[in-house]
Chains A and B, each alone.
Chain A
Amino acid sequence: MSDHSTSVTHRRGIALMSVLYFLVVCALTSTAVLFARRSATRSTTTSTSGAQLLSAADAAVYFALGAWDPAARAAQVVGSTVTVSAPASTGVNTTIYVTRVTPRLFSIVGEAHARLGGASRRVNLLVRLPGIAPAPGALIAAVGITIGKDVRFVDDTGCADSAAPMVMLAPSAALKVDSAASIDTSRLVTRDSAAADSAAYLQVGGAWWNDLVQRADIRLASDAHVTPSPSVVANVCVPNDANWGDPTVPSSACAPRAPLVYAAGDLTIDGGVGQGALLVDGRLSIAGPFTYSGQIVARRGIETLSDNIAISGGVYAWSASSKVSASRATTNDVILAHAMTLRRSRCDAGHGVASWLQPRRVRERAWSELF
C-alpha cells in the first residue's frame, strides 16, 4: 500500500511541474514574441515615418521652387521671412518659409510635421536669382547719340555699382555732345564692339526678346500714346494697361508692380511714372515729364520731346525693329535734347526684370537637413 501511495504522489508532482514549466515557457515565449514584433513594428514605423517626413519636407522646398512667384519674391524685403502655402499631404502638415537673405539669395525651409506622434523633419534649400551684371552704362547704343546741354548722367551710389563710363557706344556710331553740357567727359563714353552686338539688346535679364514678347504683361499697339500712372483703389493696386507701377512711393500699393510692357511699334509716352521693363519694337518718344525705373529697350532709337525725364536702370537703343513696317521713324538715332537724368543702376535694372527671373539652387551646398 505504501508503495502505491508514493507512486501516486510522485506522478502528481511530475504533472504539476510539467504544466508549470510548460506554462512559464509559453508565457515567456509569447511575451518575447509579442515584444519582438511590437519593437520591430515600432522600429519600422519610426523609420518609415522619418523617411516619409523627410520626403515631405524635401517635396515642400522643391514645391516652393517650382511654384516660385517672381513678382512676390521681387517685392520681398531683404532680411524678411514669409510663409508660403504648402501642398496638402496625407497625415503630414507641411510648412514652407522663404527668407530673402540678400537681393539675390533666398533660403527656403520646408518642415514636415506628422499629425500623429509629433515627429517632424526640417530641410533647407538655398536658391539664387540669376545675376544681373552691372550695366556697362546708363545708355547702351548701337546707333548715333545726340546729347543736349541739360542731360545729366549719374551713378546709383546706393547699389554698390563700380564706376563705369555712362555711355557704351558701338565703335562706328556717331556721338554729338552739346558744348554747354555739364558732363564729365572723361568718363562719358566708351566704345565697345559689344554695343554693336544684337544680343546686348535682344536678351534682357537672361531671356530673349521673342520669349519676353510672348509673356508681356501689357501690350501696346503700334503708334500708341500712353501716360502711365499708378492706379490704387481702396489701397489695392489695380493692374491695368496704364498702370506701370509706382517707383516713387515705396509704401504705395503699386510699389511692387513692375510689369513687362511691349509696344508693337512706335510708342509715345506723354508723361507719367512707371517701372519694370519696356520693350519698344520701334521708336520711343518721350513727350512729357516721365519717371521710370527699370530697363528700356528701343529698337529704332529714342527721342525726348519734353523736360523733366528721369530714368534709373538702363536704356538700350538698337538699330532695327523686328517689322520694318511697324515704325515710321526716319532715324534710329538717340536724341536727348531736353532736360533729363539717366542713372546707371544695377538694382533698378534688376528690379525691372525680376518678374521673370527664376531662381536656381546654389552650387554645391544648397541642401541641408536641420536638426
Chain B
Amino acid sequence: MAEVVLAMLLGALVLGLVSSVGGRLQRQLTRDANRLADDQQLATAAEVLPIDLRGLSPSSGDIAAGEARDSSLQVRATIANALACGGAPSTLLIAPYLGSSGSSSALSVQDGDTAWLLTDGDTSESWHPVRVRAVRRTSGSCAVLGDADAAKVFDISHLWAMDLRDSVIAAAGAVVRVTRPTRSSFYRAGDGRWYLGLRSWNSAAVLFNTIQPVSGPYAAATGAGGARFQYYDSVGNRVPSGAADTRSIARVEAVLLSERSSRDSSRDSLLVVIALRNRR
C-alpha cells in the first residue's frame, strides 16, 4: 500500500512538474505568437506608409490643408511616373519609367487622377496639373527618346495613351508624375479594435472609398498615448495636428503601438520616421 501511495505521489509530482513546464511553454508560445503577429503588423505599416509619403511635395499642396491630423493624414500620393512622348491636346502619349530591375508594369492610373507635367520655361520650371480621364495601351514609338539605352530607363516598348479631361499644349519631353488622393487613418473597426487603414479616392462618387485595413490592431488612437501621426517642419518644430498650413511639413512620424497584452500588459512599438524628399 505504501508503495502504491509513494508511486502515486511521485507520479503526481512528475505530472505536476510536466504540466507546469508545459503550461509555461504554452504561455511562452502564445506570447511569442502574439508578439510575432504584432511585429508583423508593425513591419507591414513600416513598409507601406513610407511608400506613399516619401515622395510628397508639401509645398505644392500634396498634404491637404488641415488634414494632417494625429489620427489621419490625407495626401496626394504619386502612383506613376512617365515621360510624355507627344500627343494631341487632350491625349498624351507616354512612356512609363521602368521599375526596379527594369521591370515593366501596367499603369494603375484611373479617372480622377491628376497628371503633373513639368513645364521647362526660360528662367524656371513649373508643374502643370491636368485631370486624367483614362489610360490605355497604344502602339507607336517615343520620338523624344533617341537611343537604345533609353530602354533601360523607360518602357518604350509599352507606350500608353493618357486621355485628359483638360487640354494641354504640346508637351513632348515633359516628365509626368501622376498622383491620387489617399487617406491613411487609425480607425476603430467593427470588432472594437483599432487598425491602420487606407482609403483611396473615388472620382465617380466624389468621396473616398471604404477604408481598407492595412495593419493592426493598435492601441487606441485617442491622443498622445495611442497610435498616432506626428508632423515636424524642416528645423524640427512640431506642426500641430489639424494645422491649416501643411506646406511647412518636412517630416512625418507614425507612432505605432500594438495592443497591450492581456496577460502581462506588455506591448511592442515602432516609430516610423519619414523624411519627405520633395519638401522644397
Contacts and interface: CB of A to CB of B under 8 A. Distances in A.
A111 interface: yes
A81 interface: yes
Interface in B49-83: 51, 54-55, 57, 59-60, 78, 81, 83
Interface stretch (B35-43, B180-188, B189-197): B35-43
A124 B81 contact: yes
Interface stretch (B94-102, B159-167, B229-237): B94-102
A365 B278 contact: yes
Task: Give the interface SS of chain A, mostly helix, strand, loop or mixed.
Answer: mixed
Interface string A23-39: 00110110011001001
Interface of B: 4, 7-8, 11, 14-15, 18, 21-22, 25-26, 28-29, 32-33, 35-36, 39-40, 43, 46-47, 51, 54-55, 57, 59-60, 78, 81, 83, 97-101, 105, 116, 118, 120-127, 144-147, 149-150, 152-154, 173, 175, 177, 277-278, 280
A367 interface: yes
Contacts of B35: 36
A79 B147 contact: yes
A97 B116 CA distance: 23
Contact of B29 (A28, A99, A122): A28
B121 A107 contact: no
B147 A36 contact: no
B55 A40 contact: no
Contact of A364 (B11, B57, B81, B146): B57
Given A15-B14, A29-B28, A122 B147 contact: no
A33 B43 contact: no
Contacts of A370: 81, 97-100
A370 B177 CA distance: 11
Given A22-B22, A39-B40, A97 B120 contact: no
Contact of A107 (B60, B99, B125, B175): B175
Contact of A81 (B14, B55, B100, B149): B149
A4 B4 CA distance: 8
Contact of A371 (B4, B46, B60, B100): B100
Given A21-B18, A29-B25, A121-B100, A363 B126 contact: yes
A88 interface: no
Given A11-B8, A133-B123, A369-B54, A101 B60 contact: no
Given A32-B33, A101-B83, A105-B125, 8 more contacts: A11-B7, A25-B21, A28-B25, A113-B101, A121-B100, A122-B98, A364-B57, A367-B278
Nearest to B116: A365
B89 to A, nearest CB: 19
A78 B7 CA distance: 93
Nearest to A13: B11
Given A81-B153, A121-B100, A369 B55 contact: yes
A58 B39 CA distance: 27
Given A33-B29, A363-B280, A43 B59 contact: no
Nearest to B124: A131
A102 B117 CA distance: 13
21 contacts: A11-B7, A11-B8, A22-B22, A25-B22, A32-B29, A32-B32, A33-B28, A36-B35, A39-B40, A79-B145, A97-B153, A102-B173, A105-B118, A113-B101, A126-B175, A128-B125, A133-B123, A363-B124, A364-B60, A365-B177, A368-B177
Contact of A25 (B26, B78, B120): B26
Given A36-B32, A101-B175, A124-B81, A365 B60 contact: yes
Contacts of B7: 7, 11
B173 A29 contact: no
A105 B36 CA distance: 48
Contacts of A14: 11, 15
A232 interface: no
The winner among A29, A105, A126 for most chain B CB atoms within 10 A is A29
Nearest to A47: B43
Contacts of B123: 131, 133
The list of the 3 closest CB pairs from A to B, nearest first, reads: A79-B146, A367-B277, A81-B149
B175 A105 contact: yes
Contact of B147 (A32, A40, A81, A121): A81
Given A47-B46, A97-B153, A362 B125 contact: yes
Contacts of B145: 79, 81, 99
